[in-house]
Amino acid sequence: MRTILLTAVLLLAATGASAQQAAQLNADQKVLLRCSAAFALAANMQEHGDKTLGEIPELRARGKEYFVRAMASLMDQQSLDREQVSALLKAEVAALSEGDALPKAMPECLASLQASGL
């Protein structure tokens, strides 16, 4: 029982830390985070033949490069380590997995991808 309680406390602390870090991101950084998570989810869906998102460009290569550059930028600009970035991404993936959040995010994210020049 003590182990379960300790694990729950640690998980809550980690969630609070990622929420606090996310609040410190500016609008552009939040778009990079959201779209990186969206591209990872969408590329996985495409790889498995899921057409839920309709006709969107193939995202495996371009989305991956966007993801890598965006996360490196966030790490540099916010002095985040891999664990912190991972926590932020997990929270964003969870948010995008709710209802129709991912399809709603895709137009802005595809525009961000296009603007990135990738």
Structure confidence at residue 54 (pLDDT): 87
pLDDT tens, position by position, 91-110 = 999 999 999 999 999 999 99
How much is the pTM? 0.80
Mean pLDDT of 39-66: 92
Mean pLDDT of 41-48: 93
* pLDDT tier, 21 (very low <50, low <70, confident <90, very high otherwise): low
Which long-range contacts (C-beta less than 8 Å, at least 24 apart) are formed by 96-103?
96/34, 96/37, 96/38, 96/41, 97/41, 102/38, 102/41, 102/42, 102/53, 103/52, 103/53, 103/54
Residue 52 clears pLDDT 80, i.e. is over it: yes
Mean pLDDT of 71-96: 93
Residue 42 near residue 59 (C-beta atoms within 8 A): yes
Mean pLDDT of 55-81: 93
Residue 69 clears pLDDT 80, i.e. is over it: yes
Mean pLDDT of 48-74: 92
CA–CA distances in Å: residue 108 to residues 74, 83, 101? 19, 26, 12
